[in-house]
Amino acid sequence: MNETRLILIRHGQTAWNAQGRVQGGGSLDALGKEQAQKLAARLVTEPISHIYSSPALRAKQTARATANVLGLNIHQSSLLKDLDYGRFAGAFIQDVQKEAPGLFEQWRDSPETVTFENGENLGNLRRRINKFIANINKFHPGGTILAATHDSPIRIAASIALGLPDSEHKQDYLKAPLASVTSILIKADSAVLEIFRDTAHLQGINA
């Protein structure tokens, strides 16, 4: 049976990343745009047939660099959205630590127990990513598909492939660096992590 290959890329750097904000917005800054170009150069030899992106501008901008090189359209998917941090989206991380220290510590130590006010929890995100993976395998069997998304969705996808619970979500070994490449081989009843957190294409760029 043919395997479907899903290549997940995290968006490039935004001003919000540089400022230490909880994600939820922002567009690529000068470094982020350079990272997106490096990603495109890394991916140009891959047999990618379709490109999907989170609706977020930073993800679409990152996907666009590769789409332009490959001559492909971008299909927007809400399933690839970042975790919804609710009222904390866009806040400075240091302000969240001061305003809601208990929540900050809970998110750090027991992330699977947190539901963000006016937002969502990791269970919601895992269901979205599971659905996206299933859809890719259904509609593009045996293909190589690119998806531009965010740190938390990539952490979840890797956790699904590795059989890890959401309690591991905040561990450093799961973090997807900006403009990194992760790939998963999808079978009928399983997913296997092939490449994880690859940033070799970013050598020479100072973040």
Q: Give the separation between CA 194 and CA 188, rounded to whole angstroms.
A: 16
From residue 59, alpha-carbon distances to 94, 114, 132, 151 in Å are 25, 25, 16, 11
> What six digits make up the tokens of 114?
């947190």
pLDDT band, very low/low/confident/very high, at 45 (cuts 50, 70, 90) = very high
Q: Please, are residues 33 and 14 in contact by the beta-carbon 8 Å criterion? A: no
Residue 173 domain flag: yes
Residue 31 domain flag: yes
Q: Residue 37 is inside which H or E element, if any?
A: helix 30-43
State percent of the chain over pLDDT 90: 77
Helix (H, G, I), strand (E, B) or coil at 52: strand
Residue 114: partners with Cβ closer than 8 Å, 6 or more residues away: 103, 106, 107, 121, 122
> Which carries the bigger pLDDT value, residue 104 or residue 46?
46
pLDDT band, very low/low/confident/very high, at 207 (cuts 50, 70, 90) = low
Residue 35 domain flag: yes
**pLDDT tens digits, residue range 52-80?**
999 999 999 999 999 999 999 999 999 99
Residue 34: is its pLDDT beyond 60? yes
Q: How many CA atoms lie within 13 A of 172 on its CB side?
A: 0
Residue 207 domain flag: no
pLDDT of residue 22: 63
> Which carries the bigger pLDDT value, residue 104 or residue 153?
153
Write out the residue range of the structural domain in which residue 37 sits: 4-202
pLDDT of residue 21: 65
Give me the mean pLDDT over the 149-169 stretch. Answer: 97
CATH number of the CATH domain containing 109: 3.40.50.1240
Residue 114 domain flag: yes
pLDDT of residue 78: 98
Phi, psi of 179 (to 5 degrees): 60, 25
**pLDDT tens digits, residue range 100-136?**
888 889 999 999 999 998 999 999 999 999 999 999 9
Give me the number of domains the chain comprises: 1
- Count Cβ atoms below 10 Å from residue 14 Cβ, excluding itself: 23
Phi, psi of 183 (to 5 degrees): -130, 145
> Which carries the bigger pLDDT value, residue 136 or residue 187?
136
Q: Tell whether the torsion through CA atoms of 135, 139, 141 and 147 is positive or negative.
A: negative
Residue 26 domain flag: yes
Residue 190 domain flag: yes
pLDDT of residue 24: 59
Residue 92 domain flag: yes
Q: Give the separation between CA 134 and CA 111, rounded to whole angstroms.
A: 25
Average pLDDT for the chain: 92
